Amino acid sequence: MTAVEWLVQEIENGKIEIVYSDKIHSIKCLPEFVKQAKEMEKQQIENAYDHCRCIGNFDSGTEYYDETYKKDNL
């Protein structure tokens, strides 16, 4: 589970309360922000692996990410 996925889970479980200002638009944009944050985090993990290659036997950061994190979302 990535940090962004954990945060979304905590919000969905009611453990973290989101307080919005008077801008209703913010509520509608939350799913878009989560999607963007997940993609940014994925890219950071892949880049870190590509620079280090010190964990496991993967050919790329993308393969490392898919094998390590995508199985949590099935």
Residue 12 lies in a domain: no
| b/e burial code for range 15-49 (CB count within 10 A of at least 16 → b) | eeeeeeeeeeeeeeeeeeeeeebbeebbeebbeeb
Model confidence over 5-36: pLDDT tens digits? 888 888 888 887 776 666 655 566 678 888 88
Residue 33 lies in a domain: yes
Q: What are the start-end ranges of the H helices in the chain?
A: 3-12, 25-52, 61-68
Residue 13 lies in a domain: no
Q: Give the chain's mean pLDDT.
A: 80
Query: Which residues, 6 or more positions from 63, have their beta carbon under 8 angstroms from its beta carbon?
Result: none
For residue 40, the enclosing domain spans 23-73
Residue 47 lies in a domain: yes
Report the predicted TM-score, pTM, of the whole model to 2 decimal places.
Answer: 0.64
Residue 56 lies in a domain: yes
Q: Which residue has the higher pLDDT, 73 or 2?
A: 2
Query: Which residues, 6 or more positions from 16, have their beta carbon under 8 angstroms from its beta carbon?
Result: 7, 10
Q: How many domains does the chain have?
A: 1
